[in-house]
Amino acid sequence: MGKNFLSAEWLKLTNFLPFQNPNALKWLYSPPKEAIYFSLRTIIASFLALAIALWMQLDSPKWAMMTVWIVAQTSPGETIAKSQWRVVGTIIGVIMAVTMIALFPQEPMLFGIAMALWMGCCCWLGSLIRGSSSYSFVLAGYTCALIGFASVNNPNDVFMTAMARGSYIILGVLCQSFIERLFAFNMDQKAKKSLHDNLLKAITGSLTIIVDVLKGDYKAAFRVQNVFTAVSAFQNSIEFRKIEMLHDDHMADHVHATLSSVSIVLARLINLTVYMQNFIKDKPFNDITFKVTKYLEILIGSLNKQTDFTEHLNELSKLRWECRQVIADYIYYDAIEKLEEGQETSDNLLDRRILYRSLSKLLGEIEAILVEYQYALNPKKTDKFKFSLPPIYNFKMAWWNGFRVFVAVLVACFLWEITAWDEFPGSIGLLCVACGRLCLFENGYKMCIGFLKGTLWGVLVSGILDVSLMAQASNIDMVYLALFIPLFIGGLAIYNLPTRGIGMSFTIFFPFMIILGNQVRMDEETFLNSMLVMLIGVGMAVFAFRFIAPYAPKKVRREIRIKMLHSVRSLANISPLPNPRRWLVVTMEWFVSLMRQFDASKEAMLVQKYNHGALAVMSIGLNIMEIRKMIDQDILPEDIKNELRVVMRRVSHFRGGRRYGRTVLIAKSAIRRLRLREKAEENLAKRLEISMAIACLILIYFSLEKNVAFLNPSYRLYNQD
């Protein structure tokens, strides 16, 4: 396990507090109004589910209440989007539970193995597929487990148990969905405002970085990490805002397209930054960058005030034509005029053409942003535009989550077999619930400790209430009074990201310890048994995620790094080529995931190196795709295509080690030969195409040379990784 279990840092008593300093309590004493609304909505839905379960004389009404908190999401759109999938998952889980009991009625070990396999498969799918449907898989898993283990000692009652547990879960889902829709005042207007505000933040953030770079602050280019992180989070929430808008006017599709253009702009900015750092900038270039800077500052100030950007598009077009005119002047000067002694060399003129071309392409992408932003603000009724993002799968995480859950359930079944404790099936059911919830997080390792803390707080608070208010409760009003404050605080904790794990487990398991049945109170013996059942189940889930293939940041970021490098290598020879925007979106997601594996306060230098390296991957990938397109076209001469094919072949077979240096040298040699060939070429169209190929190779060369520690798989970054 790598460290002594009993002396582990995470077992310290102070770590089980939901806060470490007074400022961490701000979510409690000064919560945002959205957190208050969420907490109140969920409490009302859970109280409604409890009241209906009690009115229907169901034997375990607490499960209806628990289900509401299990399925609770922080936004109405997310709740509504996932409700239908939860019902589907519940029905599948009910069917599988009855089927497994029928297949293994007197074979507890075979039943346990089958249940472990089922839970492992469901958690594998839930971890692999990120979106609304992922909830259906894990819900199918632990619904089957709850019903199956509750019926294993009495198989004849499995159908009634399945109907009862299925009714609780569906009742909780329906109550949650009903309350969300009931209290969704102006939901469509709020969703549109949220889309607009977040989109405006992404655009202005990217334009501000561009302004800083053009003013000479080249380090500003590496702040794109913050914009990428915001764009990634925003893209993941668009599908829920789309549901909240109630009707599809394709605004969400244009928002996706705008964010894609933002990503392209930032990648183009990295390319321009490389050129500006390594090429000589003449006075005309400084003049035009000054104009662009002033214009972008005006644009940033007017984005929130205008909906028609025709004038801005015209101004961008003028700036682009100005860049093209300078490029044409340099071509004419280089091709027609004889260079006198002391004048600039042809190489310098080519460098400047590349510099202006890069700036022109950046302005073109800004123009694309404005066009899509205008469509997003003013969607047309006849608009049929569609924009889909490629699915992103993390098979390794899914396999490990499935394996953890399989082993945990299998071990729990073995312990049940050797202990023969009558309450152990209940622990296994709660183990499956906890594992199912943890599988839905990107990093269950970090969330599992929060789950354990929340469970312990649930035991403590429920114990106090069971011997005080609940002991005197004679009607449902008293029950509501006793539950309101703890659940309200739990809801606030769920809304606050750092305490989300604590809040989720507290609100899920707190009702389990405080409500027993319709006509039965929680006594001391039942409380202690229930506490032991719950702690064993949650404790085994925490152990599984903490110690079975434990999370190791260094290992995870190396895996992501290798995945990104493999993606770049594959671009050199795969056919057909992927869409550049779609490839960049996927790479951006891996980049954001990579940056989440660091403690920025302790690993600042390493974060910077990874940041530069990951951005280099994006730059290399986009330029490889441009070179591939040039090779497939008929403009370039065959000898130039052969030069480019050599570089592409070298990149595709690159595996690191000493071969890395040879790859860099081949790219450098290709640039030198293409420069000579470009000077000798008389056909203007071919000459322009050769200069474009040189520009792409220069970016690839500089990226390889400056980021050897990241791009060479055989290197460990400064012995820190």
CA 130 – CA 396 distance, rounded (Å) = 14
Q: Which residues contact 314 (CB under 8 A, 6 or more apart)?
A: none
Query: Cα 632–276–651 angle (5° rounding)?
Result: 35
Task: Provide DSSP, 663-692.
Answer: HHHHHHHHHHHHHHHHHH---HHHHHHHHH
Q: Which residues contact 310 (CB under 8 A, 6 or more apart)?
A: none
Tens digit of pLDDT for each residue in 493-508? 999 888 888 999 999 8
Structural contact between residues 409 and 119, judged by C-beta atoms closer than 8 angstroms: yes
CA 165 – CA 390 distance, rounded (Å) = 37
For residue 152, give the DSSP letter. T
CA 110 – CA 413 distance, rounded (Å) = 10
For residue 157, give the DSSP letter. G
- Would you state the pLDDT for residue 488? 94
Q: Is 369 exposed, middle or buried (0-12, 13-18, 19+ CB in 10 A)?
A: buried
Computed from CA positions of residues 312, 315, 321, 326, in that sequence, does the dihedral angle turn out positive or negative? negative
For residue 11, give the DSSP letter. G
Structural contact between residues 270 and 246, judged by C-beta atoms closer than 8 angstroms: no
What type of residue sits at position 315?
Answer: E
CA 355 – CA 679 distance, rounded (Å) = 18
Structural contact between residues 165 and 117, judged by C-beta atoms closer than 8 angstroms: no
Other CB atoms within a 10 A radius of the CB of residue 335 amount to 14
CA 294 – CA 300 distance, rounded (Å) = 10
Q: Which two tokens stand for residue 242?
A: 């789309």
- Would you state the pLDDT for residue 338? 45
| Strand stretches in 71-209, DSSP E | none
CA 94 – CA 435 distance, rounded (Å) = 18
Structural contact between residues 346 and 339, judged by C-beta atoms closer than 8 angstroms: yes
Chain mean pLDDT for the chain: 83
pLDDT along the chain (721 residues), means of 10: 45 49 75 90 92 83 86 79 81 91 85 93 88 83 89 83 83 86 78 83 90 88 83 78 70 82 89 88 86 90 78 88 84 60 61 88 90 82 73 83 93 90 89 89 83 91 85 80 91 89 90 74 80 91 89 83 87 86 86 81 80 88 91 84 88 69 86 86 82 90 85 61 59
Going along the chain from its start, the domains and CATH numbers come out as 32-185+391-547 (no CATH), 187-222+229-377 (1.20.58.220), 553-719 (no CATH)
**Residue whose tokens read 């070179």:** 627
Structural contact between residues 127 and 402, judged by C-beta atoms closer than 8 angstroms: yes
Other CB atoms within a 10 A radius of the CB of residue 274 amount to 21
CA 433 – CA 287 distance, rounded (Å) = 63
Other CB atoms within a 10 A radius of the CB of residue 456 amount to 17
Nearest to 121 by CA among 356, 497, 436: 436
Task: Provide DSSP, 211-230.
Answer: HHHHTT-GGGGGGHHHHHHH
Other CB atoms within a 10 A radius of the CB of residue 304 amount to 11
CA 279 – CA 292 distance, rounded (Å) = 19
Tens digit of pLDDT for each residue in 200-217? 888 899 999 999 999 888
CA 645 – CA 125 distance, rounded (Å) = 40
Structural contact between residues 619 and 274, judged by C-beta atoms closer than 8 angstroms: yes
Q: Which two tokens stand for residue 158?
A: 């499995």
For residue 146, give the DSSP letter. H
Backbone angles phi and psi of 12, in degrees to 5: -60, 140
Structural contact between residues 260 and 280, judged by C-beta atoms closer than 8 angstroms: no
- Would you state the pLDDT for residue 686? 83
